[in-house]
Amino acid sequence: MGRNPSDLLIFIGKRLLQLIPVLVGVIVLTFFFTHLDLTNVCNEWYPHAGASTIHNCELTVNQPLANQFVQYFVNLLHGNWGTDVYGAAVYPQIAAALPATLELVLAALFLMVVIGIPLGVIAAQFSGRWADHLVRVFYLSGWATPTYLGAVIAAVFLGPLLGLPSGGEFSTKAVPFSQYTHMSVIDAMLAGSLPYTADAISHLILPAVVLAFINMGIATRMTRASMLEVLPLDYVRSARMKGLSEFWVLYKHALRNALITTTTVLGITAGGLLSGTVVVEEVFLWPGIGQYAYVSIGGGGSVPNFAGAIAVVIIFAIAVVAANLIADILYGVLDPRVDWR
């Protein structure tokens, strides 16, 4: 009926195609931001660069806008994303930093799903009573906490209290194994070192918890609303009448349907998590894109790095688009009414 496993590839392919105009739009928008209002485009993109790079750049500046755009696009594809204020190429720095942020965000997502969704179920189950109010207060206070405040409180007070570290990925500056994936836990596991894996995990906990706490609200909120919509429906009553315990009725029958709408907020969640990494990574000295963004944009008094800032904007936009794609696909998989053809 249009939902065979082989059809799934068609479905994903269609969604990918819809991605492309948005991605193009993102690139065009960043192009506008970076090429229109600057008097000295080339120096902005390649400060401290060699004379030949500047010369090549200046050749393109005097060309019509369309050619400039093509050149810009080609540069991006080739990995030429400009240089930072010390002359180092931006792209390799981003490539090394991205997996670390990915690890952090995935850990936070995991916590949000494992804690946030059951909380939403509880809030719906006891809607209007004190458990509901408690859950609300919990996630609203998470949402009301500015990221930096939460990060600072966690790093400075909670960390020592719970004995969790809050500086970087490992306890030592350098690690005795090579980093293939740049994701601390994975690298430690690949190197087969148990103490380093434990070390990596302990360093991951606090920043992930801060990110999760602040962004949990939307998942819990959405789960609660969907559950409230689903619980009065007849098939939930049927499930109860079959003799299933309340737990199974809620999690196997009701939640399975309520989750469908929860996936639609995955894109917004991603946006919030990524924004949050900017501050969280800075406070926890986590070597990811967020920290790179913080430094590039001139946070904390550092020298702003134009090319780096633009690179970060592009990466984050791509990430949000990718998250929306995943949400779309998940929705298509979870809702049996969606035809994959």
CA atoms within 13 A on the CB side of 81: 23
In 3D space, the residue among 217, 225, 212, 260 whose CA is nearest the CA of residue 121 turns out to be: 225
Tokens for 341? Answer: 């053809």
Residue 158 CB, nearest approach to another protein (Å): 13
By the rule CB under 8 A, 279 interacts with another protein: yes
Task: Decide: is 214 part of the binding site for another protein (CB under 8 A).
Answer: yes
d(CA 117, CA 262): 9
Does 333 bind another protein (CB under 8 A)? Our answer is no
Residue 9 interacts with another protein (CB under 8 A): yes or no:
no
Give the whole-angstrom CA distance, residue 193 versus residue 177.
9
The interface with another protein within residues 297-326 (CB under 8 A) comprises 297-301, 304, 306, 309-310, 312-313, 316-317, 320-321, 324
The nearer residue to another protein, 111 or 313, going by C-beta atoms, is: 313
Residue 145 CA to residue 201 CA, distance in Å, equals 25
Q: What are phi and psi of 146, to 5 degrees?
A: -60, 145
Of 237-256, binders to another protein (CB under 8 A) are: 237-246, 253, 256
Instruction: Say whether 285 sits in a helix, a strand or coil.
Output: coil
- The angle at the Cα of 195, spanning 92 to 207, to the nearest 5 degrees, equals 55
Shorter beta-carbon distance to another protein: residue 26 or 189: 26
Q: How many residues bind another protein (CB under 8 A)?
A: 92
> Using the rule CB under 8 A, which residue among 54, 85, 102, 265 binds another protein?
265
Q: Which is nearer to another protein, 59 or 137 (CB)?
A: 137
Contacting another protein within 130-159 (CB under 8 A): 133, 136-137, 140-141, 143-149, 152-153, 156-157
Of 97 and 274, CB closest to another protein:
274
Closest alpha carbon to 313 in 19, 57, 17, 32: 32
Smallest separation (angstroms) from another protein to the CB of 136: 6
Applying CB under 8 A, does 33 fall inside the site for another protein?
yes
Longest Cα separation, the chain: 78
Does 15 engage in binding with another protein (CB under 8 A)?
Answer: no
Contact characters 170-199, another protein, x per CB under 8 A: ------------------------------
Asked if residue 122 binds another protein (CB under 8 A), the reply is: no
> 12 or 334: whose CB is closer to another protein?
334
Q: Of residues 74-93, which lie at the interface with another protein (CB under 8 A)?
A: none
Residue 184 Cβ vs another protein, minimum distance, rounded to whole Å: 24
Task: Return the closest-CA partner of residue 329 out of 2, 3, 8, 1.
Answer: 8
Question: Considering only residues 26, 96, 191, 326, which one is a binding residue for another protein as defined by CB under 8 A?
Answer: 26
Question: Among residue numbers 50 through 79, which ones bind another protein (CB under 8 A)?
Answer: none
Cα 59 to Cα 40, 81, 120, 299, distances in angstroms: 13, 17, 58, 33
Burial label for 148, CB within 10 Å (0-12, 13-18, 19+), is middle
Q: Structure tokens of 198?
A: 């434990």
Cα separation, 203 vs 173, whole angstroms = 13
